[in-house]
């Protein structure tokens, strides 16, 4: 019976390549897929490309992963799929070409997919009457009632979550590596599985299986004991954490990991990743298929091996998710640390001194957030602030974040922080250097008609 094994080699841009390198060297896999793109990553890459047209992709895919283990992957016929192309797919392709030439890999095939970047099509879609509805219907702080009309002149990037079809076409064309921009994370994994098993574009149940195989691998170490809420103390050898591998046949799917590495694969670890970001288990929408995992089963099959079954699929949605990154304004984050005794009391008093000064200086901020690291910066209003807790704090860091659409307003607080080392209560310590004004990028998630996209695959041979 045919079996295809695919590894998840990256969880985000900046993740360690060590597990992927180990997988290439030690695991019996045919494919490796690497996800580099969180939702605001493309906005960061877009800004980089504006400053330097040669940038805008994840260079460490080439300088770290391919440099360390790309030759071994080629020699073992392990094909690599990644969205490391970001906002500059062509730049990433050129970097891979240069690497392959240096390695003497004559005949190396690089496939790449374009069409996710639709910023230039926005005026046409507006003219056709598309209103770009916000997906944040709950009125979260991300949109705060903002409409597309409010942000259309502040946009950095507009990238659609494309599906597996053109990635699969590049694989079918013999690509050793396939580069995309904003492909959906799980589509990177579905494409080789659909290719190998010959799944039709309306074979919803099998497409759903492939998507969920990718979903279990797309976050790298998070699927193999990293970020493990159930029992993080039980995860062995985390300094050598392995990443998950999916093994599929026409009828089965099992999750495991490479030999001789840390981490674990258990029903509990797989369940945590299985439900991650799904929202509605009976309607998990992706560009390729509407997935139903409401009756799925996850069963231990052996040490570091779990079986996943019962996944169903329904017709894919008519719209595609679009991530719009835009300039929202400016922020300044300032901090002072305080030591026992009375750490919180002194920190809170200093925050009041600073805000009184800002009132006197007429600072016009759109939002000010004051929190105390070590007490309520993560837990906010539910933090324990009983007198007993406050009296026991060994240390406390005052953090003041100022947001404004006016860059100059954010700058007013900067010179008022460090003087409190001598001009406030004792025990203050200034660290991290002088604060500076930073741009705030925000995300406007929306949808567009599927037929608005023109996604194509391409191939070059070194």
Secondary structure element (H or E) that encloses residue 344, with its range: helix 343-360
Question: 21-48, pLDDT tens digit by residue?
Answer: 999 999 999 999 999 999 889 999 999 9
Secondary structure element (H or E) that encloses residue 257, with its range: strand 253-257
Q: What is the pLDDT at residue 168?
A: 98
- Residues 305 and 342 occupy one common structural domain: no
Q: What is the pLDDT at residue 181?
A: 98
User: Is 401 domain-assigned?
Assistant: yes
User: Is 143 domain-assigned?
Assistant: no
The distance in angstroms from the start CA to the end CA of the chain is 35
Which of the listed residues 272, 291, 317 is the one where a domain comes to its end? Answer: 317
User: Is 11 domain-assigned?
Assistant: yes
pTM of the model: 0.94
| Parent domain of 424 | 329-440
Interhelix angle 165-172/187-197, nearest 10 degrees = 50
Reported for 350-357, long-range contacts at CB under 8 A and 24+ positions apart, including other chains, are 350/398, 350/420, 350/424, 350/425, 350/428, 351/398, 351/400, 353/420, 353/424, 354/400, 354/413, 354/416, 354/417, 354/420, 355/400, 357/416
- Residues 333 and 297 occupy one common structural domain: no
Query: Can you read off the two tokens belonging to residue 336?
Result: 């002072």
Which of the listed residues 275, 291, 317 is the one where a domain comes to its end? Answer: 317
Residue 158, beta-bridge partner list: 324
Low-confidence ranges of the chain (pLDDT < 50): 138-143
- Residues 248 and 397 occupy one common structural domain: no
User: Is 137 domain-assigned?
Assistant: no
Distance in angstroms (rounded) separating the CA atoms of residues 214 and 308: 12
- Residues 358 and 386 occupy one common structural domain: yes
User: Is 455 domain-assigned?
Assistant: no
- Residues 294 and 351 occupy one common structural domain: no
Which of the listed residues 317, 340, 369 is the one where a domain comes to its end? Answer: 317
- Residues 252 and 390 occupy one common structural domain: no
Q: Quick check: helix, strand or coil at residue 433?
A: coil
Counting the structural domains of the chain, the total is 2
Contact 54, 47 (CB under 8 A): no
Q: What is the pLDDT at residue 355?
A: 97
Q: What is the pLDDT at residue 90?
A: 98
State how far Cα 80 lies from the chain centre.
19
Find the CATH number of the domain harbouring 335: 3.30.70
User: Is 403 domain-assigned?
Assistant: yes
């Amino acid at each position: 019976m045919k079996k295809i094994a695919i590894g998840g080699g990256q969880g985000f841009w900046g993740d360690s390549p060590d597990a992927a390198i180990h997988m290439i060297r030690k695991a019996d896999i045919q494919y490796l897929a690497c996800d580099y793109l969180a939702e605001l990553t493309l906005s960061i890459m877009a800004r980089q490309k504006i400053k330097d047209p040669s940038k805008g992709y994840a260079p460490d895919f080439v300088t770290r992963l391919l440099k360390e283990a790309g030759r071994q992957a080629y020699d073992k016929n392990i094909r690599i799929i990644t969205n490391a192309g970001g906002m500059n797919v062509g730049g990433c392709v050129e970097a891979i070409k240069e690497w392959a030439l240096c390695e003497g890999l004559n005949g190396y095939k690089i496939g790449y997919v374009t069409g996710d970047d639709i910023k230039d099509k926005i005026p046409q879609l507006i003219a056709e009457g598309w209103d770009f509805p916000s997906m944040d219907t709950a009125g979260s702080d991300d949109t705060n009632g903002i409409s597309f009309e409010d942000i259309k002149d502040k946009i950095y990037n507009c990238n659609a979550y494309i599906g597996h079809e053109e990635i699969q076409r590049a694989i079918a064309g013999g690509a050793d590596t396939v580069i995309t921009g904003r492909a959906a994370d799980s589509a990177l994994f579905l494409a080789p599985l659909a290719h190998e098993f010959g799944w039709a574009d309306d074979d919803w149940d099998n497409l759903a299986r492939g998507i969920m195989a990718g979903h279990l691998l797309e976050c790298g170490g998070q699927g193999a004991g990293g970020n493990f809420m159930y029992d993080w103390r039980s995860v062995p050898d985390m300094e050598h954490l392995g990443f998950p591998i999916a093994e599929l046949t026409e009828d089965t799917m099992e999750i495991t990991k490479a030999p001789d590495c840390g981490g674990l694969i258990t029903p509990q670890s797989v369940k945590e990743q299985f439900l991650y970001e799904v929202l509605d288990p009976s309607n998990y929408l992706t560009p390729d298929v509407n997935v139903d995992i409401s009756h799925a089963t996850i069963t231990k099959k052996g040490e570091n091996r779990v079986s996943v079954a019962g996944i169903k699929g329904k017709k894919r949605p008519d719209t595609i998710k679009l991530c719009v990154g835009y300039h929202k304004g400016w922020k300044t984050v300032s901090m002072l640390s305080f030591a026992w005794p009375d750490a919180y009391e002194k920190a809170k008093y200093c925050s009041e001194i600073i805000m009184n000064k800002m009132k006197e200086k007429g600072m016009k901020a759109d939002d000010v957030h004051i929190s105390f690291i070590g007490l309520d910066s993560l837990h906010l209003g539910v933090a324990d602030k009983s007198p007993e807790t406050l009296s026991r704090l060994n240390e406390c860091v005052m953090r003041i974040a100022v947001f404004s659409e006016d860059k100059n307003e954010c700058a007013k607080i900067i010179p008022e922080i460090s003087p409190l080392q001598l001009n406030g209560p004792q025990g203050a310590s200034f660290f991290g250097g002088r604060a500076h004004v930073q741009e705030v990028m925000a995300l406007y998630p929306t949808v567009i008609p599927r037929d608005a996209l023109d996604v194509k695959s391409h191939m070059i041979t070194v």
